[in-house]
Amino acid sequence: MESLLRDRKKNLKPTNTILTNNLGEKYEINNEGFCKKINDKCLPFVVDNKPDLEVVKIIDGVYLSSQDPIYCYDILKEHKIQHILSLGIEPDIKFSGISYYFIEILDLPEFNLTSYFDKCFNIIDNCKDDNILVHCNAGVSRSPTIIIAYLIKYVNMNFNEAFDTVKKARPCVRPNDGFIKQLKIAHEVAS
């Protein structure tokens, strides 16, 4: 069996892997494990050129989206959004008649998101009667985490119910592993 694997491995085409770190630096790794830095620099995140204009209702008065719909007045009007809570992404265009709230939150597993829960919860709770849209860059990690935590605390859902409610409304939701851990700890404390 080992000889068969060795023979097949000899016939594999050699390849190099390009790795980009969180600073945007590129490295090339060859089959022997040799690593060399590539001079061209790229962005440390994926650039998304396709707008995500979906706005989903999570519970009465609480909506979730990426950053894209906050720049489209017709979409905001369609959902009767009167408040926008921006997490980590501060809008540079603001419409009259809409209240804006901004909280600097990073989408990093080690970021202590729980320290911002109460501030976010107060904004959501005070604005939900007039429809509040909670968003971050992609509407995948930060904003869903805040809404899941809100559902746990204010709607008395357990972690799984809250996560499933948000995931059902917006299937692309995927909070980073650190945020999931923080949500589970917060749920245990609340129970």
Q: Has residue 46 been placed in a domain?
A: no
Question: Domain check: are 30 and 112 in the same one?
Answer: no
Question: Domain check: are 68 and 16 in the same one?
Answer: no
User: What pLDDT, on a 0 to 100 scale, did the predictor assign at position 188?
Assistant: 75
Please state the domain count of the chain: 2
CATH code at position 75: 3.90.190.10
Intervals of the chain under pLDDT 50: none
The pTM score is 0.75
Q: Which domain holds residue 136?
A: 55-190
Instruction: For 61-129, give the DSSP string.
Output: TEEEE-SGGGG-HHHHHHTT--EEEEES---S---TT-EEEEE-----TTS-GGGGHHHHHHHHHHHGG
Question: Domain check: are 32 and 91 in the same one?
Answer: no
Question: Domain check: are 33 and 60 in the same one?
Answer: no
User: What pLDDT, on a 0 to 100 scale, did the predictor assign at position 39?
Assistant: 63
Active site residues: 136
User: What pLDDT, on a 0 to 100 scale, did the predictor assign at position 50?
Assistant: 76
User: What pLDDT, on a 0 to 100 scale, did the predictor assign at position 75?
Assistant: 96
Q: Has residue 43 been placed in a domain?
A: no
Question: Domain check: are 27 and 73 in the same one?
Answer: no
pLDDT digit string, tens, across residues 127-157: 999 999 999 999 999 999 999 999 999 999 9
Question: Domain check: are 26 and 69 in the same one?
Answer: no
Give the contacts of 83 (CB within 8 A, at least 6 positions apart). 98, 99, 100, 101, 123, 127, 130, 131, 132, 133
Give the contacts of 185 (CB within 8 A, at least 6 positions apart). 114
Short-list 53, 56, 99, 59, CA closest to 79: 56
Adjacent-strand bridge partners of 185: none
3-state secondary structure of 18: strand
Question: Domain check: are 104 and 145 in the same one?
Answer: yes
Question: Domain check: are 162 and 113 in the same one?
Answer: yes
Question: Domain check: are 20 and 74 in the same one?
Answer: no
Between strands 99-103 and 83-87, the pairing is parallel
Q: Has residue 45 been placed in a domain?
A: no
Question: Domain check: are 92 and 167 in the same one?
Answer: yes
